[in-house]
Amino acid sequence: MMETKVNYTLVGSFVVILGTMLVAVILWLASGGAFQKQYDLYLAISEESVAGLNLDAPVKYNGVDVGKVRQIQLDPANPEWVNLLFALEQGTPVKQDTVAVLKTQGLTGIAYVELSGGTNDSPLLRATAGHNYPVIRTEPSLAARLENVLTSVLAKLDSTSNNLNALLGPENQAAFKSTLADLARVAHTLAARSESIDAGLIDAARTMKNSARASAELEPLIARIGRAADAVDKMGTELAGTSASAGKTINAVGSDINRFTAESLPQLERLLGELSVLSSSLRRLSEQTERNPSGLLFGRTPVPDGPGESSERSPKP
């Protein structure tokens, strides 16, 4: 009987190669194989802490998983910024108005990135100069907004507390005690004079009642005053008409005076001249009568002739 010779080296090599190929096929199939998805890279710059966000954390677009976080690192130019590199499935409609927000999932606190926005009319996001990848805008997360609000509230509370401490200082406390004591004294004084206050209130009510009655009585008087004012207004209108008529009359009288002056003034001047001559004659007669009253009865005594004069005067022709 013949024995077959087996080459164990060849068999072992075949088994190793076959096992390696089997493992490679399994890994290839596990990774998707021919159906493996293609991804596009996008960059997002966060200005807040990304605590809780890890590599391969999901990236969701309106709640749908569209990719993963590929890289997390500080911005070399500004350590306050964090650069997030996303690997998103090809065909994901990332628009220019799409924004990325850091969120946490449930009570576990596992962080992920939520993409939102992206209107239908907005163009697709493209890489710009100075960046290797398209840059998605970011907005503060809910935790960051709450932190800002709480910080502002705490600052205001701290300021309010300081103001209250200053308000409730020893000097103000003493002033408050003095004010309370004064208020208590005023209250006691008012209580002691309650009867006088009641009487004053009654008098005030009576005065208000009398004032109301007087106001009711004044209404007819006001009406009469109104009618008198209307009558005065009517009288003023009539006086205005009378003034206009008087003006016309004065103008007519003025023209008559001018005509009288032009016609009668020369005659009046002659009359005044004759009166002046008559007045002079009467004055001379009065002077002669005073010097020689008898001359009024016997006539004027002739003046004797002077030396060399003839006693007879030549008769007048």
Q: What is the dihedral of CA 24, 29, 33, 38, to 10 degrees?
A: -110
H or E stretch covering 103? strand 98-105
Q: What gap in Å lies between CA 153 and CA 291, rounded to an integer?
A: 132
Nearest alpha-carbon partner for 100 in 48, 40, 38: 48
pLDDT at 259: 66
Q: What gap in Å lies between CA 143 and CA 190, rounded to an integer?
A: 59
Helices (H), the chain: 8-30, 142-167, 170-192, 194-291, 295-298
- The three-class DSSP label of residue 120 is coil
pLDDT at 87: 92
Q: List beta partners, residue 86.
A: 42, 69
Whole-number Cα distances in Å, 225 to 141, 220, 234, 316: 78, 9, 14, 94
pLDDT at 128: 87
How many CB atoms neighbour CB 154 within 10 A? 10
One-letter identity of residue 217: E
Sign of CA dihedral 85, 87, 90, 93: negative
Domain ranges of the chain: 36-139
Return averaged pLDDT per consecutive 10 residues of the chain, 317 residues in all: 63 86 82 68 90 89 91 90 92 90 77 87 88 90 84 88 79 82 86 82 85 76 74 71 64 63 69 76 70 57 56 45
Nearest alpha-carbon partner for 142 in 115, 83, 102: 102
pLDDT at 27: 81
Q: List beta partners, residue 69.
A: 86
pLDDT at 41: 93
- The three-class DSSP label of residue 35 is helix
H or E stretch covering 40? strand 39-46
pTM: 0.43
